[in-house]
Amino acid sequence: MNTAANTPSAAGGIRIEGLRKVYGKGDNAVEALKDVNMVVAPGEVVGLVGPSGSGKSTLLKCLGAIIEPTSGRMTLGNDLIYDNGWRVPDLRALRRDRIGFIFQAPYLIPFLDVTDNVALLPMLAGVGNATARATALELLTALDVHHRAKAEPSQLSGGEQQRVSIARALANRPPVILADEPTAPLDSERALGVMRILNQMAVQAQTAIIVVTHDEKIIPTFKRIYHIRDGQTIEEAGEGRML
């Protein structure tokens, strides 16, 4: 299993061209994305900012193959995954092997302990249980939540749950990570800690990472920021300052 993640074409990088998404039909139609264009290189962490309702989550869901765009093109690595229609045979495998999601709500599995929540995806992808758990513990340590490794998610604070969900998204070393407000429940120090880990991961594993955020604490960390407004994206240089 996990073949897609091991192929050179999945080495990373995101390209979005002329992406459009209309929800609903007729009088109820909402054009959430009109003409979105973005490029994220392997090893890069870019910010995506914009007012509420501007289409940030819609864009991540399209890119993550959770919802289908209306038109446009999306490329991951060397693979054109969407060209006015999906171009991959197995969207579940695409999501599982090539994309790490960090949602605003952690969505941990309540009956698995913290370690197994993080180790589950690598195990499903065929990594041995002991190796998957050892990797999980390394990530939990990096995210400063290893002391809760044996706890169940319901016993954790909101910020701890979020850090576990970040460890889970990194566990498969996916070539693409999509994060929707990942630092919202975290204090300043921990939010910057998460950004440090995402930047390290990007460089070490040549991951392409998009972070949707309103969080003023982490905005200075991006070298490039895309602003989304009226369904269109505008690129801007950021400060790229890791505090």
Ligand X SMILES: Nc1ncnc2c1ncn2[C@@H]1O[C@H](COP(=O)(O)OP(=O)(O)OP(=O)(O)O)[C@@H](O)[C@H]1O
Contact residues for Mg ion, defined by CB under 5 A: 57
- Interaction with ligand X in 27-46: which residues (CB under 6 A)? 30, 32
Contact flag: residue 55 with ligand X (CB under 6 A): yes
Contact flag: residue 23 with ligand X (CB under 6 A): yes
Site string for ligand X, 110-129 (x = CB under 6 A): --------------------
CA–CA separation, 101 and 178 (whole Å): 5
Helix (H) or strand (E) holding 57: helix 56-63
Q: Which stretch binds ligand X (CB under 6 A): 48-56, 120-128, 129-137, 142-150?
A: 48-56
Q: Which residue lies nearer to Mg ion by CB, 57 or 199? A: 57
- Interaction with ligand X in 218-237: which residues (CB under 6 A)? none
Q: How far is the CB of 173 from ligand X (least distance, A)?
A: 27
Q: How far is CA 112 from CA 102, 159, 236, in A?
A: 18, 18, 42
| Structure tokens, 53 | 């309702």
| Structure tokens, 96 | 């599982």
Q: What does 50 interact with, of ligand X, Mg ion, none (CB < 5 to 8 A by kind)?
A: ligand X
> Binding ligand X by CB under 6 A: which of 25, 26, 27, 52?
52
Phi-psi region of 101 (alpha: psi -120 to 50; beta: other; left: phi over 0): beta
CA–CA separation, 35 and 159 (whole Å): 35
Q: How far is the CB of 184 from ligand X (least distance, A)?
A: 10
Contact flag: residue 69 with ligand X (CB under 6 A): no
Residue partners of 122: CB distance under 8 A and separation at least 6 = 131, 132, 135, 136, 171, 172
Contact footprint for ligand X (CB under 6 A):
23-24, 30, 32, 50, 52-58
